[in-house]
Amino acid sequence: MPFSSFGLSSALLRAVADKAYSKPTPIQLAALPPALQGRDLLATAQTGSGKTVAFALPVLQRLEQAAPGTPRLLSALILVPTRELAAQVGEEIRNLGAHLSPPLKVSIVFGGVSINPQMMRLRGGTDIMVATPGRLIDLIAHNALTLANVTTLVLDEADRLFDLGFAEELARILSLLPAQRQNLFFSATFPPAVQALAQTLLRDPVRVTVASEPESAPDIVQRVIEVDVARRTQLLLHLIKQNHWSRVLVFVATKHAAEMVADKLRKGRINAEPFHGNLSQGKRTQVLADFKASRLKVVIATDVAARGLDIAQLPVVVNYDLPRSALDYTHRIGRTGRAGERGIALSFVSADSDAHLRLIEKNHSLSLAREQVDGFEPTSVAAPAAGLPESPANGGIKGRRPSKKDKLRAAAAQTQR
């Protein structure tokens, strides 16, 4: 079925042709008809499946059909969890709306940079806004915009937006929106607690779930290497040099670890940079630009890079630290094996983290063989597998004392029952 079968305007079809999108992806085939009809939508599909186009085209079509000459009143609000995803989604919407006449104004706002230029660009209004929740609230507090005229709300990576890190901000934003609006919720994962919360916000939603088919699933080889915690950086350095990897995205648990591992790799004559939330937006943008252009070999990142980043032909992702959330494992390894390319997802596991890896395997129906590298054999041995406790929707490493955040998550989940 071609894009022309959906009743899209000639301007949008021309933009689709410009992007060389030959035919709709499965999520676009399933989501476009109800979204174009104005229905609420709860859509689940794997990362890299074309979710942005699936909500961008209905948003643009609806605004194009509005009466000409209408003042620039914010009509479509798209919320995303990270700065990088905001920039990526906003750029895609601008490209798809390039041939609309009169042109629509698309604003991209996020924290980590000065708010003043963003406020200046909002003078005269805007039609579509792509925003992270915190910066949107800041702009509202400065009377830079109002949400009173929003007719379409899109939550991209909705599971992360429903996470407790955004729950309070999201609730405040929702309270400022008109009750009558179209809601489009998209994400790669929708754990039960998130689905229960979404049910309170959506009106008779169309549920779309596009599973990974063998022929369309990313071609990612998943490997596990056993290594003592203290020797992970040495092993990483060895693997990069031995395998002549051109670029590697390495995930760590903390900002401090990102700085520390990057520094040690540089001392080993590997061009590496950290990537985390404490860096300025200018630095983050530069690191990504250098990485995409292959001027940088290794990026050591926290989970701020786990979602939304589209890095063409990235050959290797390494889980230096396992993700706290089993769900985030999918998003991390999804940075490789994109657009038909083959990728490698490598996870380091120690005696302390083996039980958590087994939880990840259980949640994803995986059984990954443990490997060892000559000269880096672990001296500590993992305890024998026992009955594994159920993993909560938002993670938490089992076998350790729950953190304050874990307790808050559990309490929030309990209130939804």
Tell me, yes or no, if the pTM score tops 0.85.
Answer: no
Least confident of 83-87, 119-123, 189-193, 200-204: 189-193
Residues 6+ away with beta carbon under 8 Å from 147: 74, 77, 140, 173, 176, 177, 178
The position carrying tokens 């009466």 is 67
Q: Quick count: other Cβ atoms within 10 Å of Cβ 182?
A: 21
DSSP β-bridge partners for residue 347: 224, 319
- Quick: pLDDT tens for 384-410: 555 544 444 444 443 444 554 454 454
Query: 315 φ, ψ to 5°?
Result: -80, -30
Mean pLDDT lowest among 6-10, 77-81, 191-195, 383-387: 383-387
Helix (H) or strand (E) holding 328: helix 326-333
Indicate the SS3 state at residue 221: strand
In angstroms, the CA 43 to CA 334 distance is 18
Question: Around Cβ 380, how many Cβ atoms within 10 Å?
Answer: 13
Q: What is the pLDDT of residues 163-216, one digit of tens each?
A: 656 778 888 999 999 999 999 998 877 766 567 767 788 888 999 988 654 444
What does each C-alpha distance from 350 to 231, 353, 379, 412 come to in angstroms?
10, 5, 10, 31
For residue 363, which of 412, 335, 408, 322 has the smallest C-alpha distance?
322
Beta strands in 166-307 (DSSP E): 182-187, 206-210, 219-226, 248-251, 272-275, 298-301
pLDDT band at 340 (very low <50, low <70, confident <90, very high): low
Q: What is the mean pLDDT of residues 345-364?
A: 92
| CA distances for 95 relative to 15, 189, 366, 407, 411, angstroms | 7, 27, 38, 43, 43
Q: Rg of the Cα trace of the chain?
A: 22
Q: How far apart are CA 158 and CA 135, in angstroms?
A: 17
Burial of residue 292, with CB atoms counted within 10 A of its CB: 0-12 exposed, 13-18 middle, 19 or more buried:
middle
* pLDDT category of residue 78 using cuts at 50, 70 and 90: very high
Alpha-carbon distances of 131 from 16, 57, 118, 162, 233, rounded to whole Å = 24, 18, 11, 15, 36
Q: Which domains does the chain have, with CATH numbers?
A: 3-210 (3.40.50.300), 219-390 (3.40.50.300)
Identify the pLDDT of residue 306: 64
The encoded tokens of residue 312 equal 């063409």
Predicted confidence (pLDDT) per residue in 22-49, tens digit: 889 899 999 999 999 999 999 987 666 7
Q: Rounded to a whole number, what is the distance in angstroms from the first to the last CA of the chain?
A: 41
Residue-wise over 295-326: b if at least 16 C-beta within 10 A, else e? ebbbbbbbbbbbbbbbbeebbbbbbbbbbbbb
Mean model confidence pLDDT for the chain: 85
Report the relative pairing of strands 206-210 and 316-319 from DSSP bridges: unpaired
**The predicted structure's pLDDT at residue 98:** 94
Contact call for residues 352 and 229 (beta carbons, < 8 A): yes
Is the bond preceding residue 102 a cis peptide, omega within 30 degrees?
yes
- pLDDT for the residue numbered 271: 95
**Residue written as token pair 């024998």:** 384
